Every structure is written in C-alpha cells, then in structure tokens.
Amino acid sequence: MNLAQQVDGQQAAAHAMFPRDRAPQRHVEAYQQVPDPQPAHRQDADAYWANKIAEVMRDQFGIKPKVNTYSYGTPYPPAYDLIPLPNRYKVPDFTKFSGQDDTSTMEHVNRFIIQCGEAANRDELSVCLFSSSLSGSAFTWFISLPPNSVITWADLEKQFHKYFFSRVHEKKITNLVRLRQHNDESVESFVQRLRDVKNKCYSLVVDDRQLSDLAFQGLLPHIKDKYASQEFESLSHLVQSISDQDIKAFEPRKAWNKKVSFVDEATSSDSDEESVISLAEWVKNKKPKS
C-alpha cells in the first residue's frame, strides 16, 4: 500500500468516526454563526458573553447560574461601622420616623440628636445611628441612597429634609400675631400655646424679647392695662411677673340699667280717678326697654 492510499484510508476512518451531521460539527457551525455584538463598551461585551455562556450551560447541562441577591447597603463609607461607640454607651430606643404621620423632619432631627446624647458629638456615629430612627418607607429611602453619598451629618440632614420636609404644618409669624388669650385661660397656658406655635415656625428667627412682646400683645385687655409700663426680657419673665399677682378673670362690662317708678300726671287733677303708677327701666347706651 503506497502513501497516498494510507492517507485516503485515514481520512475515511475519520469521517466514519465523526460524520458531518454529528453534534461537534453542529456546535462549531452554531458558534461560527453567532454574530459579533461589537459592543460600545467592554462592560456590555462582558455581559453579552456572560448571558451566552449561561444559556449554553442551561441548555446543554441543565445548570442554572447563581443569581445575585440584594444585600443591605449604606450610603456612608464602610469604615464608619468600625468606629467604636463611647465607653459604656447604650444605643437608645429611638423614636421612629416613617414619613407617614404629621411628625415634621425638623422635630424628628432635633429629637434624634437629643436621644443620641454623647454619640451626637461625632458625625460618623450620628450618620450610622440615624437609620435606627427610621422605619417603613423612610428606612427604604435611606438604604436606597447611593454609596458614599453621605460623608458628614450635614449631608444626611440636608438630604433628609429635601426628601421628606413638607411645609403643610409650618407656621408663620402671622399665626403668632393672631394668638389671643381666652377669657378662661391662664397666662401660663396661653404662653405655652404660643411656644407650641413658635416651635413650628421653622424659618422664623426672633429673640426672647421680641417673643415676649408678641405674647404680651395677645393677653387679655385688663392684664395689658395693668402691666403696660413694664418690660419683659423673655416669656419666662413674663409668666413669673404676671402669674405671681392676683389676676382676676376678665369679665366683659355689663350694660348699666336701673328701674324707676313714676306717676302719670297726664290725667286731669279734677278727675276722681286714681293716678296711674308706671314702671320704667333705664338702660345705658341702649334704648329704653319699657
């Protein structure tokens, strides 16, 4: 057998082992027919081929690639979680903010700082603990912030106010000016009511003397008349100065009236009839009733 016959025999044996309609040739043809995606970015190309490989693994071997699961993320640097709390510090049971009730962002932030105590002295600890004071949609908002979008406490407070702050419950200086003491209301109760309104005037800046002047203008008239010449340094000074005195409840002035009797002398003196005695009522600032 010459060399040409040996080569022809080997080619025939190879064709017998791997016919053209067998799987290896089909996979090669399928691979050659896959279009080149030519992605604009390398990241897109990696994602494309990852999906193709996943399809082959699923179709040929029944293997499903592991699906990425979402985990809890923080908007602040991970190093913040490694900062130790103050010695013997116990994490408070923070009042929760959900964004669904009437609690304002200003009220929640101030209460959170008070509850934080010593930990509020460090921005990193305040930022880490703030999520413990959130619930519901507010907590979802916090963990949805982009990574490293919060570095300082000022960053977090600004974003919190921007997202949740609503001016529906905010009061204005006109609300303070219109306040008036009720007839059956003590000075202490009226001043406390004025303080509550002032606490909701988030953008209003007034000092203690100005606030005490506003409160004085809202007092009952007879109290203002008695203390018109006195100046008050603060609301506390006003309350202490007036509450220690014997202040009677204000009573509106009653209409003055007096009943008198008179004899009707219109009849003739020669008449034998008795004189008619009538009753009249004099009313000050009003027309006579009878």
Query: Tell me: the pLDDT tens digits for 26-43?
Result: 544 544 454 554 545 565
For the chain, list the strands marked E by DSSP.
Answer: 257-264, 276-283
Domain boundary among 117, 139, 169: 169
Domain that holds residue 261: 253-290
In angstroms, the CA 142 to CA 160 distance is 9
144 and 211 fall within a common domain: no
Quote the radius of gyration of the chain (alpha carbons, Å).
Answer: 45
Residue at 125 is within a domain: yes
- The two tokens of residue 92 are 């408070």
In angstroms, the CA 218 to CA 178 distance is 8
161 and 177 fall within a common domain: no
Residue at 31 is within a domain: no
pLDDT at 277: 53
- The two tokens of residue 108 are 């929640």
pLDDT band of residue 241 (cuts 50, 70, 90) is: confident
Mean per-residue pLDDT for 131-146? Answer: 93
Domain boundary among 146, 169, 192: 169
pLDDT at 245: 56
What totals of helices (H) and strands (E) does the chain contain, helices first?
12, 2
Residue at 15 is within a domain: no
85 and 117 fall within a common domain: yes
In angstroms, the CA 17 to CA 278 distance is 143
Residue at 266 is within a domain: yes
Provide, rounded to the nearest whole percent, the portion of the chain with pLDDT above 70.
62
207 and 257 fall within a common domain: no
209 and 147 fall within a common domain: no
Number of domains making up the chain? 3
231 and 281 fall within a common domain: no
- The two tokens of residue 245 are 């005195």
Count CB-CB contacts under 10 A for residue 186.
Answer: 15
- The two tokens of residue 8 are 């022809």
pLDDT at 27: 46
- Please write the tens of the pLDDT for every residue from 40-63: 556 567 777 777 777 777 777 666
Q: What are the φ and ψ backbone dihedral angles of 178, each rounded to 5 degrees? A: -80, -10
List the Cα angle 158/106/210 in 5-degree steps. 115
Mean per-residue pLDDT for 101-105? Answer: 83
Q: What is the per-residue DSSP string for 69-91? A: ------SS-GGGGGSPPPTT---
Q: How far apart, in Å, do the first and last CA atoms of the chain sit?
A: 156
Domain boundary among 143, 169, 195: 169
pLDDT at 266: 52
141 and 156 fall within a common domain: yes
Residue at 8 is within a domain: no
115 and 153 fall within a common domain: yes
CA-based max dimension of the chain = 184
Residue at 141 is within a domain: yes
Residue at 234 is within a domain: yes
Spatial contact of 107 and 137, defined as CB atoms under 8 Å apart:
no
Residue at 280 is within a domain: yes
- Please write the tens of the pLDDT for every residue from 164-220: 876 556 677 788 888 899 998 999 999 999 888 887 776 778 888 888 898 899 999
